[in-house]
Structure 1
Amino acid sequence: MAAGWMKTALLVVPATGLAVGLAAPLLGFPNIARPAFTAATLVVIAALLAEIIASLRRGEVGLDIVALLSMSAALAIGETLAASVVALMYAGGQSLEAFAERRARRDMVALLARAPRSTRRYGAHGLEEIALDAVAIGDRLLIRQGETIPVDGTVTTDLAVIDEAAITGESVPAQRRHGEQVISGSINVGAPFDMRADRLASDSTLAGIVRLVAAAEASKAPMSRLADRYAMVFLAVTVVLALAAYILSGDPVRAVAVLVVATPCPLILAVPVALVAGLSRAAARGILVKGGKALEALARIDVLVLDKTGTLTHGRPRITSELVFDGITPRELLRLAASADQASQHVLARRLVSEAEARGLDLAVPEAAEEVPGEGVSATVEGRRVSVGGIAYAAARADLGTGDDEAADNLRRLRDGTGVVVAVSVDGRLAGGFLMVDELRAGSHALLDALRAEGLKRIVLATGDRAGVAEALAADLPVDEIRSEQTPADKVAVVVAERRHGAVMMVGDGVNDAPALAAADIGLAMGATGSAAAAETADVVLLVDQLSRLREALVIARRARTIALQSVVAGIGLSLVAMVAAAFGLIAPVQGALLQEAIDVAVILNALRALGGPVPAEIR
């Protein structure tokens, strides 16, 4: 950022020198004009030379060499006014580029400026102001109106009204009720509310965004490296054309005019501006792309590999039906089961507890809990022994008689192709069970159709679920292949195998998806609800729990890349035409400088179009 302001400050020197030089004859001091032009140009040459040397030390050859040659050659043949105009135009172009990049990054960094440093916590003696790093998981925090939510957590009062625009791009405030999650970086625009901290400050969404933005800022786009790679080609063409103009005409002014009209090349201005504008546009829509390299690669994706849980589905199974025996009510069965499940960290156990809390049930503290990982948990709840888990697990902890055999069969029939039955036994008898279904996201079919319309050649579903669940869920989806029962290593193999069809994007949200996200050409993580490992590994993170933003990300990336290429082709084409005209003596050095600057301004303004453009209609 400091370098950007230095570029802007450098503009003052040639502007002052040119103004003094032009005014001097009018004020009766004609001898001052040439020294003023020369001095201003030499300052810009010195700054440019330092930049070129630094680039050469990094092993980069840039097109700024053309600017150095043109100013130096103009001074050498006494065209001090032309040299000063070139210096002004070059400094102006650098200043305009710096302004464009600051403008393009505005949405990206706006969130970081208001990151909180402290929060209010309920302690033993009432409310206390604590540093953000002191927040522990489980702490009860007070979020006042207008405050930024400091960590990810769960609402513990009746209602919270929050503005998530900076995180998700949604302009309408969201309502979050008791038991629902809120994400750090959002703003409380309603009444004060209480929340429970679910993550440490260092692991929160906002902290992750800070790290990801830092990575994006440090990234250099491959198209920018492409510009550097072809710098020597363009430099050689420029020098050859300038020498040819001098040799064939014997007029050094023509050679200088050729150099002047080639400075600076739109190739080094339009590409970074367009890509940074695309990054900013994506960030404003809750899509964090880790730099120009990822954005440019995203624009060239041919194959999509999708995880299921948390991606095509919400990753939050809910109770869709229930079955009870022996006269126990569904509410009481849920209360007992959820009370026991408080002792478990299994995803279904946590969802059962959340469902019970959402229904306003008072859960008891489980005692003497025992858990068989992946199968179920048993605990004493208010003096009753409660077992919660799969049908086999609960049945094994019941004294099965004829009635219990029939109950187990009824529970098995409760299960459909996409759901999981959570069975409950109480005091040695099967008491009932719940069918929990992780439903397909609304609009998934339309989204996949829309992605195909955007140019994707192939869509593959890769999931760790059993074949029956995966096939039932994706039966009506426009996917080319379903790969079920996939381990993390299997998903990596799928990504590698799909490369024969083109560039591959992997979309996932869990820790088990992280290896595949890293192996893909582009990894996209559902950062709002997914694991920190997936978000850190991925190249693109959706900060809002809406898979439809995947289409927006693709549209924004392809638009930014197209605009960058348009600017390069148009700018280089116009520059070459002007260089030929200068070689034939049709353009003088001063005219060439003004013409080239007009070309540069045009391509930069065109590149800034990547900041806007229509947003694809929301898919529901």
Structure 2
Amino acid sequence: MQKIILAHKKELTIINGSLLLLALADHFFLTQGKIVPVALMLAGIAGVLPIAIQAFQSLKVKVVSIDVLVTIAVLGAFLVQSYEEAAVVTFLFLAGHFLEQATLKKTRKAIKSLVEMEPETALKKNLHGQFEEVSIDEVSVLDRLLVKTGGKIPVDGQVVSGSGYVNEASITGESKVVDKQAGSTVYAGTILENGTIQLEAQRVGEETTFGKIIELVEEAQDSKSTPERFIDKFSQYYTPAVLLLAIVVGFVTKDIELAITVLVLGCPGALVIGIPVSNVAGIGNGAKHGILLKGSEVVQNFSQVDTMVFDKTGTLTVGDPRVAKLITMPGINEREALSLLVSTESESDHPLAQAVVKTYPDTARYPVTKTQVVKGGGIFALVKGHQVALGNLQLMKTHGIDVKKEVIKESEKLASEGNSLIFMAIDQQPALILGIKDQLRPNVKDELSKLKKLGVKNLILLSGDNQGTVDQIAEKISLTEAKGNMLPEDKAAYIKKLQNNGQNVTFVGDGVNDSPSLALANTGIAMGNGTDVAIETSDIVLMNSDFSRLAPTLKLAKATSHNMLQNIIIAVGVVFVLLGSLLFSDWINMGIGMFVHEASIIVVVLNAIRLLNYRLA
């Protein structure tokens, strides 16, 4: 019976409202009141049934919910034969519920649009070499897939033939198209606007970047911030307190109707719903613009940031450095040394290693038979019978490689010119020094200025590069502080030091080398380009690695946090005004109070919905 009643909640609301209209029509136009009591009684019964069932269910789990208060109030109204109060209160409560659900649906629209972009089918190559349409669930890693103009990329993969232009808005939030050729990476949920490509599936289903985005955003909506946890706890005590207040008022005044009205007006509906709706709307807006905010707690933390710490390569810089200067030690065969260098660096994904490989693409390469990575220092490798060491000056000193004073002096000059340094030794003998330069991101100084205007007091650069390079960058873009020669553990220790000094620290990195700092900071932001590591390790992901999105992300976090506070003030303010007016004036009754109460719920929801249209620019 309970299931049947709850399944027909909408119909019961309609019956409730129709009987109220009948009573109104009878009072003014029909029999002048003969039908009114019966109509109102039936309206109250129809309305209270689903509310009473929900109240019973909440009491079973030892929760005194809003439904419990309303049910007691309606039963009390029946007891004192105030049928019009029972009918009006139940109708407003049920109608408010449906209006609340309707407005909540709008806040979920951005997330729903993401889910709708998820591919359902793919053109898969069969055993006969033909492409046939199959369900996306039938696609496996290494399958060969065909995508035509206008089609959705079904999985994450690599283009093996063909070319075209792909709209990656579902991943990056930017609607501009990206040229894709053989060897390019493509992402599920993006759209091939022009061209035809064949790709090899690398990640499918929930493992795709798009699948992880949807999963993370949905998880983020369910997470709770400190204000939400406070409201949950507050409601546990507040609701019984209202019940106790109603009992005290009834006992002191001997006015049962007044006590019942206290129950109705004290319902904390807007207080309970206001913060979660703000959370959903803010996260939804971010997802629509390629900004993944992993939960309400993240929004709250980031909105209070006062210190922002940056990695250099790929964060403040464009992340595409090249060798700008090469110094060859006397007696070294430069050509052979470069071959050993490029062969070794090909084994590393570090940005500086990739810079070397990109600078010398046509250099001969040899098999690398053994490698050892020194975290934050460099790499050792066995290449063509030679022991090759690559890294910073500290690595050379630590492993007993004798770098002459005049060589160190030359390297210091390179560093003072803004170069990142790589020292190379072959068989324990210094061979090469490379000066590598990266370009600062366009308008990075202006973007940092925007962060300062938003309340970020300290802008700090922590880098593994030499101090000369980081000092030069700090001077160019007006940073508060810059520290070079920092190992990953040094960065994490420095962030811990800042936090111990009471600072709210956000770390912005590439999500790969800086995972300890991303995890330790109050908020970790990855300039990720949708990479797995960036999505997994950080609290916020800027999917297109656009540095100019940093300030808008902070604006959105602050706006969402402020919206939560506004909804708390509205909700608490309405309850206090209603209860105060009820106890100390005579203008309010149960019907009027319930109308104002339900209106306050709609107000806080509509206030939260404003975040969906909040402009990030």
Task: For 2:75 and 2:359, locate their aligned partners in 1 and report how far apart those are by CA, in whole Å.
Answer: 75
CA drift of 1:453 comes to 0.9
Secondary structure in structure 2 of the residue aligned to 1:460? strand
2:303 is equivalent to residue 303 of structure 1: no
- Name the residue aligned to 1:18: 17
Q: Give the letter aligned to residue 274 of structure 1.
A: S
Q: Give the letter aligned to residue 271 of structure 1.
A: I
2:259 is equivalent to residue 255 of structure 1: yes
CA drift of 1:267 comes to 0.7
2:113 is equivalent to residue 110 of structure 1: yes
Q: Give the letter aligned to residue 45 of structure 1.
A: I
Task: For 2:6 and 2:163, locate their aligned partners in 1 and report how far apart those are by CA, in whole Å.
Answer: 49
CA drift of 1:276 comes to 0.8
Task: For 1:594 and 1:356, locate their aligned partners in 2 and report how far apart those are by CA, in whole Å.
Answer: 74
Task: For 2:337 and 2:382, locate their aligned partners in 1 and report how far apart those are by CA, in whole Å.
Answer: 14
| CA pair 550-54 structure 1, distance change in 2 beyond 3 A | farther
Q: Give the letter aligned to residue 167 of structure 1.
A: I
- 8 A contact 1:322–1:434 mirrored in 2: yes
- Name the residue aligned to 1:52: 58
- Name the residue aligned to 1:78: 81
- Name the residue aligned to 1:464: 464
CA drift of 1:151 comes to 4.2
- Name the residue aligned to 1:207: 211
Task: For 1:275 and 1:31, locate their aligned partners in 2 and report how far apart those are by CA, in whole Å.
Answer: 44
| CA pair 152-461 structure 1, distance change in 2 beyond 3 A | farther
CA drift of 1:270 comes to 1.4
CA drift of 1:178 comes to 6.3
Task: For 2:587 and 2:610, locate their aligned partners in 1 and report how far apart those are by CA, in whole Å.
Answer: 33
- Name the residue aligned to 2:609: 608
Secondary structure in structure 2 of the residue aligned to 1:269? helix
Q: Give the letter aligned to residue 468 of structure 1.
A: G
Deviation readout 1:494-537 (Å, 9 max, x if unpaired): 2222122332222222344223322222222223265x344223
Task: For 2:57 and 2:189, locate their aligned partners in 1 and report how far apart those are by CA, in whole Å.
Answer: 38
Equivalences for 1:384-533 in 2 at 5 Å?
416-420=417-421, 436-499=436-499, 500-528=501-529, 530=531, 532-533=532-533
TM-score (norm 1): 0.78
Shifted more, 484-493 versus 26-35: the winner is: 26-35
| CA pair 421-518 structure 1, distance change in 2 beyond 3 A | closer
Aligned partner of 1:269 among 269, 273, 279 = 273
- 8 A contact 1:337–1:388 mirrored in 2: no
- Name the residue aligned to 1:292: 296
Q: Give the letter aligned to residue 563 of structure 1.
A: N
| CA pair 509-408 structure 1, distance change in 2 beyond 3 A | closer
- Name the residue aligned to 1:585: 586
> Which runs of no fewer than 5 residues in structure 2 stay unpaired?
373-377, 394-405
CA drift of 1:454 comes to 0.7
Q: Percent identity?
A: 27
- 8 A contact 2:458–2:480 mirrored in 1: yes
Task: For 2:6 and 2:475, locate their aligned partners in 1 and report how far apart those are by CA, in whole Å.
Answer: 58
Task: For 1:196 and 1:234, locate their aligned partners in 2 and report how far apart those are by CA, in whole Å.
Answer: 58
2:92 is equivalent to residue 89 of structure 1: yes
| CA pair 478-194 structure 1, distance change in 2 beyond 3 A | farther
- 8 A contact 2:37–2:83 mirrored in 1: no
Secondary structure in structure 1 of the residue aligned to 2:108? helix
CA drift of 1:201 comes to 6.3
Secondary structure in structure 1 of the residue aligned to 2:524? strand
| CA pair 85-113 structure 1, distance change in 2 beyond 3 A | same
2:537 is equivalent to residue 537 of structure 1: yes
CA drift of 1:275 comes to 1.3
Shifted more, 259-268 versus 126-135: the winner is: 126-135
Task: For 2:538 and 2:130, locate their aligned partners in 1 and report how far apart those are by CA, in whole Å.
Answer: 39
Shifted more, 292-301 versus 69-78: the winner is: 69-78
CA drift of 1:147 comes to 2.6
Task: For 2:64 and 2:245, locate their aligned partners in 1 and report how far apart those are by CA, in whole Å.
Answer: 20
- Name the residue aligned to 1:559: 559
- 8 A contact 2:311–2:508 mirrored in 1: yes
| CA pair 178-349 structure 1, distance change in 2 beyond 3 A | farther
CA drift of 1:455 comes to 1.1
| CA pair 300-126 structure 1, distance change in 2 beyond 3 A | same
CA drift of 1:261 comes to 2.8
Secondary structure in structure 2 of the residue aligned to 1:189? strand
Task: For 1:108 and 1:250, locate their aligned partners in 2 and report how far apart those are by CA, in whole Å.
Answer: 52
| CA pair 75-528 structure 1, distance change in 2 beyond 3 A | farther
For this pair of structures, how many residues does the alignment match?
579
- Name the residue aligned to 2:403: none
CA drift of 1:280 comes to 0.5
CA drift of 1:154 comes to 5.3
Task: For 1:226 and 1:449, locate their aligned partners in 2 and report how far apart those are by CA, in whole Å.
Answer: 35
2:191 is equivalent to residue 190 of structure 1: no
Shifted more, 415-424 versus 245-254: the winner is: 415-424
Shifted more, 9-18 versus 571-580: the winner is: 9-18
Q: Give the letter aligned to residue 12 of structure 1.
A: E
Secondary structure in structure 2 of the residue aligned to 1:115? coil
Q: Give the letter aligned to residue 455 of structure 2.
A: G
- 8 A contact 2:171–2:530 mirrored in 1: no
- 8 A contact 1:417–1:469 mirrored in 2: yes
| CA pair 566-272 structure 1, distance change in 2 beyond 3 A | same
Q: Give the letter aligned to residue 596 of structure 2.
A: L
Task: For 1:313 and 1:376, locate their aligned partners in 2 and report how far apart those are by CA, in whole Å.
Answer: 27
CA drift of 1:278 comes to 0.6
TM-score (norm 2): 0.78
- 8 A contact 2:131–2:146 mirrored in 1: no
CA drift of 1:575 comes to 2.8
| CA pair 336-96 structure 1, distance change in 2 beyond 3 A | farther
> Which runs of no fewer than 5 residues in structure 1 stay unpaired?
1-5, 393-405
| CA pair 417-164 structure 1, distance change in 2 beyond 3 A | same
| CA pair 333-167 structure 1, distance change in 2 beyond 3 A | farther
CA drift of 1:323 comes to 9.3
Shifted more, 490-499 versus 190-199: the winner is: 190-199
- 8 A contact 2:209–2:530 mirrored in 1: no
Task: For 2:127 and 2:407, locate their aligned partners in 1 and report how far apart those are by CA, in whole Å.
Answer: 49
- 8 A contact 1:73–1:256 mirrored in 2: yes
Deviation readout 1:383-419 (Å, 9 max, x if unpaired): xx9x997799xxxxxxxxxxxxx99999998774333
- 8 A contact 2:44–2:90 mirrored in 1: no
| CA pair 76-482 structure 1, distance change in 2 beyond 3 A | farther
Secondary structure in structure 2 of the residue aligned to 1:491? helix
Task: For 1:155 and 1:494, locate their aligned partners in 2 and report how far apart those are by CA, in whole Å.
Answer: 42
Task: For 2:292 and 2:516, locate their aligned partners in 1 and report how far apart those are by CA, in whole Å.
Answer: 20
| CA pair 504-340 structure 1, distance change in 2 beyond 3 A | closer
- Name the residue aligned to 1:395: none
- 8 A contact 2:342–2:357 mirrored in 1: yes
| CA pair 181-113 structure 1, distance change in 2 beyond 3 A | same
Task: For 2:425 and 2:197, locate their aligned partners in 1 and report how far apart those are by CA, in whole Å.
Answer: 35
- Name the residue aligned to 1:398: none
Secondary structure in structure 2 of the residue aligned to 1:192? strand
| CA pair 391-94 structure 1, distance change in 2 beyond 3 A | closer
Task: For 2:323 and 2:126, locate their aligned partners in 1 and report how far apart those are by CA, in whole Å.
Answer: 36
| CA pair 529-312 structure 1, distance change in 2 beyond 3 A | farther
